[in-house]
């Protein structure tokens, strides 16, 4: 066997050589990730100990959910808990966006072999205290919270002190907990580049105040920056709506005459149609998040499944480290969105050159 490293511990390379497997297989086994058989995993763990490699026993337990003994029961149990404001229970089949969050959560826990549990705080007879009792009775180690997408930041009274926690997207003012979200700032940069490339000159941003508060105004800041930096774009002030009704949108539209509107769908596109403003014949439209691909809107796909998967990993990291409740230093993982072409943003470059 090769010599040990300077720290006096065996390296992954040495363990791989001793077991006759790849370094990737060793890394997966030591971190508890799926991808190696249980027999190979145990052989690698035994070799690591024999070589002097310090193995954190919680890593294998938490990250892989290996069955305890021969019972087949996962050692780690986590739960998805959706807030009262969410208008349906898991798996949210009537809400395509929330359903994609759920499927991402389900897929990740199945990949890791850990226990899957899903609850709804608005379920009949349910309250925060009873939910805590249920989670404790079921041996839940970690909780991923899901809130109504696009809603305001919430003051949260749920007792998280006995669980490792994270949230799907950033919603909470307090307590501050780990979260996974889309990179809204970068997504707006992407939107504005496509506005320019498709030949539009007067983009207007329409947002709900509750939604932009949740994202720490990342959409508006990126929009205004790009509007300033791209000299060919004319300046139009952001329209902030206090609610779903979009009061004042007609007056804003008549005054500034944007040639493309960037906004939430729902409700922005519905408001434009109610006002009799034809999309895309009179004005183009770009959705800030893709709710349903069948609508064929020009939009940003925020990859909700990947966001939910990252929220699972955040919880498992806190379980591994024994951190319960609000962490001293919470963190947010940002997922890149990507641009999706759609019928609401026709190419205007050719028509303007004629």
Question: What is the full per-residue pLDDT of the chain (354 aa) written as tens digits?
Answer: 333 343 445 678 888 888 888 877 787 777 666 556 777 877 887 787 777 665 454 444 444 444 344 445 556 789 999 998 888 899 999 889 999 999 999 999 988 888 889 999 999 999 999 999 999 998 999 999 998 876 665 667 899 999 999 999 887 777 889 999 999 999 999 999 999 999 999 999 999 887 787 788 899 999 999 998 888 889 999 999 887 778 899 999 999 999 999 998 878 988 999 999 999 999 999 999 998 888 999 999 999 999 999 999 999 999 988 999 999 999 999 999 999 999 999 998 866 544
Cβ-contact 280, 345 below 8 angstroms: yes
Q: What is the pTM of this model?
A: 0.78
Alpha carbon distance 332, 170 (integer Å): 8
The H-assigned helical ranges of 69-124 are 96-112
Cβ-contact 305, 103 below 8 angstroms: yes
Residue reference for tokens 């060793």:
26
3-state secondary structure at position 68 = coil
Q: What does each C-alpha distance from 153 to 123, 150, 176 come to in angstroms?
A: 22, 9, 11
The Cβ of residue 133 has, within 10 Å, a number of other Cβ atoms equal to 11
Distance of CA 284 to the CA centre of its chain: 27
Residue 171: name the closest of 114, 214, 113, 140 by CA. Answer: 214
| Peptide bond just before 266 cis, omega within 30 deg | yes
Q: Domains of the chain by range and CATH?
A: 12-55 (no CATH), 77-181+304-335 (3.40.50.2300), 184-302+339-353 (3.40.50.2300)
């Amino acid at each position: 066997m090769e010599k040990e490293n300077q720290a006096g511990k065996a390296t992954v390379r040495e363990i791989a050589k001793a077991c006759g497997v790849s370094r990737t297989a060793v890394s997966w086994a030591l971190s508890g990730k799926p991808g190696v058989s249980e027999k190979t995993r145990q052989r690698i763990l035994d070799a690591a100990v024999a070589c002097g490699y310090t193995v954190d026993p919680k890593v294998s337990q938490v990250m892989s959910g290996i069955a305890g003994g021969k019972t087949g029961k996962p050692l780690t149990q986590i739960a998805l808990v959706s807030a009262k404001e969410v208008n349906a229970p898991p798996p949210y089949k009537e809400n395509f966006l929330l359903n994609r969050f759920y499927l991402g959560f389900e897929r990740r826990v199945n990949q890791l072999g850990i226990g899957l549990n899903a609850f709804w705080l608005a379920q009949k007879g349910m309250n925060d205290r009873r939910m805590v009792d249920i989670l404790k009775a079921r041996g839940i180690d970690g909780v991923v919270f899901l809130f109504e997408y696009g809603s305001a930041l919430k003051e949260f009274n749920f007792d998280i002190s006995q669980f490792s926690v994270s949230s799907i997207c950033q919603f909470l003012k307090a307590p501050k907990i780990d979260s996974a979200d889309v990179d809204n700032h970068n997504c707006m940069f992407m939107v504005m580049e496509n506005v320019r490339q498709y030949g539009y000159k007067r983009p207007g941003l329409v947002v709900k105040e509750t939604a932009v508060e949740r994202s720490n105004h990342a959409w508006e800041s990126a929009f205004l920056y790009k509007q300033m930096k791209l000299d060919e774009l004319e300046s139009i002030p952001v329209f902030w709506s206090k609610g779903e009704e979009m009061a004042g949108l007609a007056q804003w539209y008549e005054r500034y005459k944007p040639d493309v509107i960037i906004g939430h769908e729902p409700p922005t596109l519905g408001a434009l149609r109610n006002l009799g403003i034809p999309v895309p014949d009179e004005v183009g439209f770009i959705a800030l998040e893709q709710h349903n691909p069948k609508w064929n809107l020009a939009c940003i796909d925020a990859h909700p499944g990947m966001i939910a998967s990252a929220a699972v990993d955040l919880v498992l990291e806190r379980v591994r480290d024994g951190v319960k409740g609000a962490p001293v230093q919470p963190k947010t993982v940002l997922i890149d969105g990507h641009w999706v072409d759609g019928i609401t943003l026709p190419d205007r470059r050719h028509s303007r050159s004629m």
